[in-house]
Each structure stands twice: as C-alpha cells, then as structure tokens.
Structure 1
Amino acid sequence: MTTRKYKELVEQRTRQTLQKWSEQPDVEEKEIYRFLHNLKGTAGTVGLHLVEEYAGSTLLYFSDESYKNWTEAEWGDYLYPLLGLFDEQLMNGAIPVPGLQAAMLSDGKKQYEILLIDDDVELVAFLRESLEKQSYFVSIALSAERGLKIFYETKPDMILLDILLPDQSGIDVLKQIIGKAKKERIPIIIVSGEHSKDVQMYAYSLGVMDYIPKPVDIDLFLVLIKNRFELKLEWQKSIIVDELTGAFNRKYFNQTMKQLISDFRRTERTFSLALMDLDYFKHVNDSYGHLVGDEVLQTFSELVLKSIRVEDTFCRYGGEEFALFMPNTDAASAMLVIERIQQQFSLKEFWAKNERFNVSFSAGITEVTESHLNADKLIDEADQALYASKHAGRNQTTLYDEHLPAGKLESVLNVIIVDDDPLIRRIVTHQFQAWEPESIAKVKVSSYSNGPQFLQTDWYAPEEKFIILLDGIMPELDGVEVLERIRGSYPEVNILVIMLTGRNDQRDIIHALQMGADDYVIKPFHLPELLTRIERLAHRFLF
C-alpha cells in the first residue's frame, strides 16, 4: 500500500469521526483528547506533518481525564480546520515513506551500541537523540540493576555511567563491571554532576576512560565519543585473542577461514569446521549470575584447548558460540573429536548458590569441498547442522547434509502491536509482513486494539520470542498496566516491550522504563527508524 493511500485513509477516518460527532448532541472531552492523540501519532507516521502539528497543538486544550461535554459549536472551532489541512497536503503530493528493506540496509559500517545508565530522564532522552543522529544505537537504563542486566546480556561497545543512581552508587556499578569491561575492551565514561576531585580521581583509578561533568557540552561530547570509538577500533585491530576464554577471536576466525580455503585451492588439503553452542547458557546467567557464566565459558574453552591438536584452531565465534577448524580432517573424523569433548564436558560439575549443575553443548560440522569454497557457505552449512542438533534435543552433534532444512528451525520471532489506533496497526502490520531479518526463520505478526483483548488471548509460547509494541494510552486498560501484567506473568528473557507514546511527559517514560519496558518510541515515529530499532533489538533473540 502506498503512502498516499495511507494519507487518504487518515483523512477518511477523520471526516467520518467529525461527521458522526456532528450528529450527536455533544462529545465527551476525553474522547476528543483521544482522537487528537491518535491523529497526531498517525498523521506524523504517514507524512501528514501539517495535520500532525495542528493536532499536537490543539491537544493542549483538552484533557484525557475530563468528562466535560462539548457541543459541536464548541469543538468545531478546534477540529474543523483539520479538513483544510488534509486538502493542502494531499494536493501538494506525498513524500514516500522508505520501505522496510531500505530501512534494513547497511553501508557496511559498524553501528556501535552505547549503554547509557542514568536516571535523569530529560538528559537521557536528549543524549539518546543526539547520539542516534550520529548513527549510534543507544540502550537506556534508569537504575543500576537494569544497567547491569543490559551490560551482561548485550555486551555494549561503550558505557556512559552516572555516579548518582536511585538504587546504588555508580561507583559500585563501576567496581562490578570494570574487570569484564577491560577484558572486553569496553570503554566506560562517567557523565555526572558530581564534580568532586576525589571522586574523579577514584573513578580514574578504577579504570574509567573519561569523566565528563554535567551540564554536558553536547558538541564536545559527540566529538569525544567519536574519538573514543576510533581508539577502540585501533585496539580491536591489534587483538586476536579473546581474553576471557583464551580462544582466538572472530577476527582471527575470518583470517583462518581465508587461509584454509586458499590452501585447499592450491593443495586440496581438506579441513572441517565445527560450530559449537552451549545449551541453555542464558539460563545459567539468569539463574547463577554472569560470573558463574564466565566460569562455564572458561572451563569449556580449557577443555577444548586440551583436547585438540597443535594445528587445530579454536575460536570464540560470538557469545557462547565457538568454532573449531580441523585441518587434514574429514567430517566423520571431526565428529569423533567433537563427540568426545561433548561427553567430557557434560560430566563437568559446576557449583553455585548451594547447588550443582551441568552444562552441555550442541554442535554442527561441515567439510570443505571443491564445490563449496565460499566462507559464508561453509559457515551456513555448519550453522544448519548446529541448529539441527538444537532442534533434535541438544547435547549432540550433526554432520551437514544437503537434505537438512535450510535456516534455523527454532527461530520464530513474534511481533505484536497493541494499539487502539486501527490505522497504526494496519501500517505497522503491513510493513512487518515483508520483514525477513537475518538469522530468523519466521516472523509472525499480530495486532490487538486494546489491552484486555491481547491479554485474554493465548498469545505466549515458551519456545518462541516476542517483541511487543505497546501503546501507552488506550481505553479500558492503560498500556503501562498491560506492561505490568506481562512482566508479572511471563519470563522477561523471552519478551521485549517497546512503549509507543504520544506524550513527551518524562514521568510517563520513567514509569514505563521502571516497570520493565525495554525501550520507548515517541509518536509520531518514522517507520524506517522504528524498524531499524526493532531489528537491532531482535538480535538479542537469536536462538
């Protein structure tokens, strides 16, 4: 559906609403408020910016908590001018909203992720907007607890940390993360209104890279961030070993793959590639803590390094996923090696919170052939075999076979829109139906017009993942109340919630984030920006 068609639908709905109201004796004020609230968000999203601006300014004259009745003579002075604005914008033509695929394209440059831990919501909103204009992706935490959770789950590229936080001191947070941050080469920058020389010296002594005083000079701030990322890039170029596990890193993996393929072209010297992924590793982190998770990763790496030959190359491919190159080894022989390591590792006992537990891993193996001399193809084959192992019950190894189903069998991502504005639901649903994110086999899209309708359905499935776009203001049940029920009834690990709000009231944003929202988007939003943000968040859900 074209953008112009959406605009015409908005106009049609507006005219129908005003026509219906003109036939009534009066209209309740909160109904007028809700109409303008929805119109502001929808008009801005489809490109009716004059209508958006007028609806936003008119909204200030009404309240969503008032039961006052307005006659046509009263409300007409405020609302009928909208009709002329539609005529003006539609006559002038429309600027198409970029499509979904355009929003997902990348210029090949890395989009750095910044974790911002600060409870000053006004500053947080300003910094996020400023940083994202520079193409950074910003995650927000309004408390130390939330910041620590995001840090361990997402491994950001940089951390901006305030000293004064509501639940514990930023210095205490710094002490908890500085060791891991140093190992992962994650720079930490303090941004604080605490100007004490002693505090600054102590923060520097713990290992922070910079200490920026509030109020922030945004121009200097942005130049500093750019400078620090350039420095980080130089660090990364010079490092080939993952310090946590002792395995080689992803950069060295790429170098090794290139070298082995080149060698095969010259000598036909075969090699096998195994991808290994620890089973239910997120459960280990959630149940026993990330320090215990690090211990599991280190133990696994130590076992593999002791079990392989000098000519083999063991790499940390990403997170809890590892790769092993075995030169002069066919796939069947490689399988014997992996299964032996599998058996030994599953017998390892770990101790945490007064209980013992075991961890297993799944693996997939492929072998280089004359017809498959492409690195991406080899990785994809090993990946398919790995996820066949996962699908078959985990703790096993699968050899790649051309008859294996392509893609990740388990990777189902649900996108749910809960919004009382039917046009918003229609637009967003239409866009997501064409979405094909990397590493996700299937995207299921559904929408609901209100909170009770959504909550009463059998929407949740334990083996699937969910991104919920939740309108903040809805009839019957407020969006934050729906959020509270989601967080109280379902495991957070499977569900990301993005609040859609037409309000700039920082108290609403604070409340939503405190109740467990992962992000917020202010209406009107631009679809390409929303979809890019959704895709970034979806990467947390790779199976």
Structure 2
Amino acid sequence: MWKLAIEKYQNLLFEKMKAQISEWFDLNNTDVIKNEDVYSFLHSLKGTAGTIQLGGLYHLASKLLDQLELKSQEQWEKCELREFLFELVSLSYQYEHFKETDLKIAEPSDTELPVVQMVCEDISMLILMKEALEENGWMVMTSSDPEKALSLYYDLQPDCLVIDIDFTEIDGFQILENIQQHNHKQFVPKVILSTENNRLTRIKAYEMGADDFIGKPVNLEEFGVRIKRQLQRKQIFDESVLIDELTKVYNRRFLFDLLERYLKELERSNSVFSIALLDLDYFKNINDSYGHLTGDKVLEAFADFLKKNLRGSDIIFRYGGEEFVILLPRTNCQEAIDVINRILDQFRSMEFDEQGKTFHLSFSAGVYMVDNPAEASQDILKMADHALYEAKGKGRSRVQGANVSDQPANNILHVSVIDDDAIIRTLLVRVLQTIDTEKVELNIKSFENGEKFFESERLTEKGKHFLILDGVMPVMDGIEVLDKVKNSPQSSGVHVLMLTGRKSEYDIARALKLGADDYVTKPFSITELQARIQRLIKRMF
C-alpha cells in the first residue's frame, strides 16, 4: 500500500511539471518568462521530489538551481528556456512513458557498442543514470521490474549489469542471486547500488558475485567512470578468446581480425569476397514460448547446421544474440546470395522438437560484396546490415543484396515535426539536431498541428522533405495530414515517419497504405527513434 501511495504522488508531481513546461513553451502572447517563476518552479520540484523518493528528479532540480544562481538575467526567451530545461523535458517524457524495456536488438552495426543493463525501482534515477551513461556512446537498457530483469539479461547479453538493490517489497540481492544462477559461466561485470553503504552490505554483495559497490546518492560523473572501468575489464576478457562459448563458432572479435586480413589480400591480389549477415526470424518468440534454455539449443543447432551445409571455404561467426556472419572468400554478391538462399531453403525444412511440440524457423539475410580494400570493417558490416533491414522489411525469410550508391554532396533535407505535445516536439527537435547525417544538411522546423504545417506552405520549399507526424492530434488527425500530403503536387519528394499510439493493426496498415515510410509506436525509445530516423534519411539519399 505504501508503494502505491508513493507512486500516486510521484505521478502527480510529474503531471504538474509537464503542465508547467507545456504552458511555458506553448505561450502565444509572449516569448519571455520571468526568472523568478523558473526559480520557484525548480525549488518546488526539488523539495517535493526529495520527499516522495524521486532521487533522480531531486538530483536534476538541484543541479538546475545551482546553474540558475550563476545566471543574473531577469527573464528568459522561450527558446533559451527550452534549452536550459531540456533535461527536465526529457525526464518528464521518459517518466510518463516508461515501461519495461521491450527488447529490440539494435542494428548489427550498433552492437559494437558496449551494452549496459540497469535494474532500479526509482524510475527518475534510472532515467538520469541511463542518460549519463549514454553520453559515453554506450547502449543502455533498463527495467524497474526485478521479475523481468532475468529475461532481459538473457535476451540482452549485456557487457555490464547494474543492480540497485533498494527495492520496496523484495530483497534486491535476490536479483543478483538469480542472475548468478543463470549466468552460463560467462563473465559479465556486476555493479551494486544501495543506500545501505555499510561494511556488512558491501561484503554480502561481493560474496554474491558483485564486481563493484556504489553507495547512494550516486555521483553521476564518478558512476560513469566506474562503469567505464568495468566495461574495459569485459573488453580485455572478450579479446582473450576467439570462440563463442555457446555455439562453438568464431566470435565477433575474430571476425574483425579476419576482415582486416581479407582486405589486405584484396589489395594485394584483387580477390573480392562477400559478407552475409543472418538473423533468425522471430527468435524472441522461441525464448518467450519455450524458455531461454530452448533458445540456446536453437542457436547451437543453427550454428551446427551452418557448419554442415556451407562450403568448406566459408567461415562462420556469431555476431551477437541470434545474429551470425558468414564470410565467403572469392565470392561475388550474386554467388553469395545463391549460397545463402540454398541454405535458407534447407533450414526452413528443419524441424525442432521441444516440450512435445514441433516448430520450424527461418532467417533473414543481407549480403554485401567487398571489392574496395579501402573500406573499413565497420562500414562493410553496415552495408550488410542495411540489406538485412530491407530483407526484414519485405517480409523476412529472404536474402537481400546490398546496393551501393554514391551520395551527392550538400543535400538539404527539410524536416518537419508535427505533434500537438510540446514535450515531444522539443525532444524530437533535439534528437534531430544530434543526428549525424554526413553530407545531408537538415532544415528543422516544428508545428503543433497539421493546419499550421499547411498554412506555413512548408512543402513548397525546394528539395526533399521528411515528416515526423503524430498519428493522433485533436485539430487534424495524422491520417488526414498524411492523406493531404500524399495528394499534394510535392508528394513524390516527401517521406513520412508516423508516431502512433494506436494498437489497431488496421490503423497502422492504413498509414502505410497511404504512403508512410515507417511508423513508431508510442511510447518510443529515444535511442531507437534516433537510429530509425538516421536510417530512413540515409535511405532517402
């Protein structure tokens, strides 16, 4: 009951915070806000957050108050205040839409990033720690439910695990114990957080397998340094082995070593080679339906199948999770596609028998031929990854070859964010500003509804257009906006990403039929959305 009461007051505080931020950013009669109003707002947040156990919000409000005291201004321009309060905006959105992480293994090109899993009941602190770690370029996955933490750990295969043991209704050490029991002898550094920073608690943590112990309140700068140290330990360990423990094929570490050798051979003898990136279709359903032990058996069986059915010269690597890479020496793109199609047909007919039930599986694959010795290993995998994404987009269980095209320089892309929520508009504009689009220049504008978008005559601006469009808006529904855009004279140069909270497959299908290029269901992961936007923009050019 106490936990439910606290959650009620926490939600009320975030609703109050969002209302105030939205009011400031959606002002129509003035563009200035008094500094004393900002100070009063932050001071109130700090006091209330500390009382109702929102450590992350308390920490952030304290930091902003300290920064405010260094400023001597009497009033704020709206755009300036939006930048100053961006961390609060981000925290507000993520808290409101927080849910247990639906694991979506990121782009294979991103799996080179270290992955950190965090388990913490204080969602506001969880969000702040996640953002602090992601500033280092790491991928961070989170959960506030200890019962789901083990399943996420299996799916994620993190490089470091952070557990805050201060849970209201359970012994937080039980999470660590469960993880240790299902660790398959893999080395994953584990960091424990707790307010109980005493000798007995620390000893217990280390006895149960912790690699580090951090007392709360957490200093985010020190926290990042200590996590970095654990990731370095993990990297040193991984680099000392070349064989994947589960599947007994080569690991990703040896893949990059071998790619460098083949690139040198290509430079010397002009002998092209191809890379195939394979991903088991709907593999997560196997883990969910039969358990992770069955999932491990499937991965072992798939690796064994590849070893028996590929050519003797082909080399197999486990790239991560259910992803495998095949290096095909002296093989052009079409020859590689033919080889992978052959084993796909064979694998589809392979029957698995588990718990009295039988099932079949397939895989999707992207193939890329390497004929330029100047290419970087990461870029090679990215090209195969792009082809794999196309294969998935076309229905899975297929092989797709990569198409290489030169990107013209100095392209201008007009990006329009259309969403009635000021918080989401602010987040999306900031996300777009941080995207690396190489030679594409982004012209970014935001609109609070479809009518204002069309009144601005935005589509008449010369060049390609990319719309990030909310599917549900009060003034003009997102489907109506999309329909009008696609019936405009400029429709051929417009690409659309829909943001939708709709659960109906019919509504999503309708959006795609009308011409949307992709959709993301709210609440969305900012990291995932950024990767998806970047990928869509690259495909446009």
**Gapped runs of 5+ residues in structure 1?**
1-31, 63-84, 99-107, 407-413, 469-482, 499-517, 520-530
Is the Cα–Cα contact under 8 Å of residues 337 and 367 in structure 2 kept in the other structure? yes
Cross-structure match for 2:469: 446
1:57 aligns with 2:40: yes
Q: Find the partner of 1:251 among 244, 250, 253.
A: 253
SS of equivalent residue, structure 1 residue 282: helix
Is the Cα–Cα contact under 8 Å of residues 435 and 530 in structure 2 kept in the other structure? no
Q: How big is each residue's C-alpha offset from its partner over 1:235-288, in whole Å with a ceiling of 9 and x where there is no partner?
A: 233333332322322232222122112112222334332222212223333443
Cross-structure match for 1:233: 235
Q: How big is each residue's C-alpha offset from its partner over 1:1-36, in whole Å with a ceiling of 9 and x where there is no partner?
A: xxxxxxxxxxxxxxxxxxxxxxxxxxxxxxx99874
Distance, in Å, in 1 between the alignment partners of 2:401 and 2:192 is 49
**How has the CA–CA distance of structure 1 residues 149 and 329 changed in structure 2, closer, same or farther, with 3 Å as cutoff?**
same
SS of equivalent residue, structure 1 residue 246: coil
Cross-structure match for 2:271: 269
1:535 aligns with 2:530: yes
SS of equivalent residue, structure 1 residue 239: coil
Distance, in Å, in 1 between the alignment partners of 2:314 and 2:394 is 28
Aligned residue identity for 1:346? R
**How has the CA–CA distance of structure 1 residues 415 and 137 changed in structure 2, closer, same or farther, with 3 Å as cutoff?**
farther
Aligned residue identity for 1:192? S
**1:175 Cα deviation after fit:** 4.2
Distance, in Å, in 2 between the alignment partners of 1:33 and 1:203 is 37
- Residue correspondence of structure 1 range 4-403 to structure 2 within 5 A: 36-40=20-24, 51=34, 54-55=37-38, 57=40, 89=76, 112-121=114-123, 124=126, 127=129, 138-163=140-165, 165=167, 169-178=171-180, 185-192=187-194, 204=206, 206-212=208-214, 223-308=225-310, 311-331=313-333, 333-352=335-354, 354-369=356-371, 375=377, 378-379=380-381, 382-383=384-385, 385-399=387-401
Distance, in Å, in 2 between the alignment partners of 1:370 and 1:180 is 44
**How has the CA–CA distance of structure 1 residues 401 and 116 changed in structure 2, closer, same or farther, with 3 Å as cutoff?**
closer
**How has the CA–CA distance of structure 1 residues 213 and 250 changed in structure 2, closer, same or farther, with 3 Å as cutoff?**
same
Aligned residue identity for 2:359? F
**How has the CA–CA distance of structure 1 residues 285 and 248 changed in structure 2, closer, same or farther, with 3 Å as cutoff?**
same
Q: How big is each residue's C-alpha offset from its partner over 1:374-411, in whole Å with a ceiling of 9 and x where there is no partner?
A: 656654554455445444543333455669x99xxxxx
**How has the CA–CA distance of structure 1 residues 333 and 434 changed in structure 2, closer, same or farther, with 3 Å as cutoff?**
same
Aligned residue identity for 2:315? T
Aligned residue pairs: how many?
412
Distance, in Å, in 2 between the alignment partners of 1:330 and 1:319 is 27
Q: How big is each residue's C-alpha offset from its partner over 1:44-89, in whole Å with a ceiling of 9 and x where there is no partner?
A: xx997x6466146269999xxxxxxxxxxxxxxxxxxxxxx99955
SS of equivalent residue, structure 1 residue 236: helix
Q: How big is each residue's C-alpha offset from its partner over 1:495-518, in whole Å with a ceiling of 9 and x where there is no partner?
A: 6655xxxxxxxxxxxxxxxxxxx7
SS of equivalent residue, structure 2 residue 250: coil
SS of equivalent residue, structure 1 residue 273: strand
**How has the CA–CA distance of structure 1 residues 279 and 57 changed in structure 2, closer, same or farther, with 3 Å as cutoff?**
same
Distance, in Å, in 1 between the alignment partners of 2:431 and 2:153 is 28
Distance, in Å, in 2 between the alignment partners of 1:179 and 1:444 is 48
TM-score, L = length of structure 2: 0.57
SS of equivalent residue, structure 1 residue 243: coil
Distance, in Å, in 1 between the alignment partners of 2:535 and 2:321 is 11
**1:324 Cα deviation after fit:** 1.0
Cross-structure match for 2:95: none
Q: How big is each residue's C-alpha offset from its partner over 1:215-240, in whole Å with a ceiling of 9 and x where there is no partner?
A: 66778655533432332232233333
Distance, in Å, in 1 between the alignment partners of 2:132 and 2:399 is 47
**How has the CA–CA distance of structure 1 residues 113 and 275 changed in structure 2, closer, same or farther, with 3 Å as cutoff?**
closer
SS of equivalent residue, structure 1 residue 274: strand
Is the Cα–Cα contact under 8 Å of residues 143 and 165 in structure 1 kept in the other structure? no
Is the Cα–Cα contact under 8 Å of residues 189 and 210 in structure 2 kept in the other structure? yes
**1:536 Cα deviation after fit:** 6.5
Q: How big is each residue's C-alpha offset from its partner over 1:459-502, in whole Å with a ceiling of 9 and x where there is no partner?
A: 9xxxx99767xxxxxxxxxxxxxx8x969x999xx96655xxxx
SS of equivalent residue, structure 2 residue 193: strand
Distance, in Å, in 2 between the alignment partners of 1:339 and 1:199 is 56
**1:359 Cα deviation after fit:** 0.9
Distance, in Å, in 2 between the alignment partners of 1:354 and 1:367 is 42
Is the Cα–Cα contact under 8 Å of residues 164 and 192 in structure 2 kept in the other structure? yes
Distance, in Å, in 1 between the alignment partners of 2:17 and 2:367 is 60
**1:319 Cα deviation after fit:** 3.1
Is the Cα–Cα contact under 8 Å of residues 420 and 448 in structure 1 kept in the other structure? no
Distance, in Å, in 2 between the alignment partners of 1:490 and 1:202 is 52
Q: Looking at CA atoms only, which structure, 1 or 2, has the larger radius of gyration?
A: 1
Distance, in Å, in 2 between the alignment partners of 1:183 and 1:415 is 49
**1:361 Cα deviation after fit:** 1.1
Aligned residue identity for 2:468? V
| Worse-superposed segment, 164-173 or 351-360 | 164-173
| Worse-superposed segment, 177-186 or 305-314 | 177-186
**How has the CA–CA distance of structure 1 residues 416 and 334 changed in structure 2, closer, same or farther, with 3 Å as cutoff?**
same
Is the Cα–Cα contact under 8 Å of residues 40 and 52 in structure 1 kept in the other structure? no
Distance, in Å, in 2 between the alignment partners of 1:189 and 1:118 is 12
Distance, in Å, in 2 between the alignment partners of 1:324 and 1:52 is 60
SS of equivalent residue, structure 2 residue 244: coil
Aligned residue identity for 1:225? I
Q: How big is each residue's C-alpha offset from its partner over 1:409-451, in whole Å with a ceiling of 9 and x where there is no partner?
A: xxxxx99986554xx566556666788678xxx9751237868
**1:95 Cα deviation after fit:** 10
| Root-mean-square deviation over aligned CA pairs | 5.6
Distance, in Å, in 2 between the alignment partners of 1:207 and 1:186 is 10
**1:350 Cα deviation after fit:** 2.9
Is the Cα–Cα contact under 8 Å of residues 312 and 324 in structure 1 kept in the other structure? yes
**1:323 Cα deviation after fit:** 1.3
Instruction: Give aligned-pair identity as a percent.
Output: 27
**How has the CA–CA distance of structure 1 residues 89 and 112 changed in structure 2, closer, same or farther, with 3 Å as cutoff?**
same
SS of equivalent residue, structure 1 residue 298: helix
Aligned residue identity for 1:280? Y
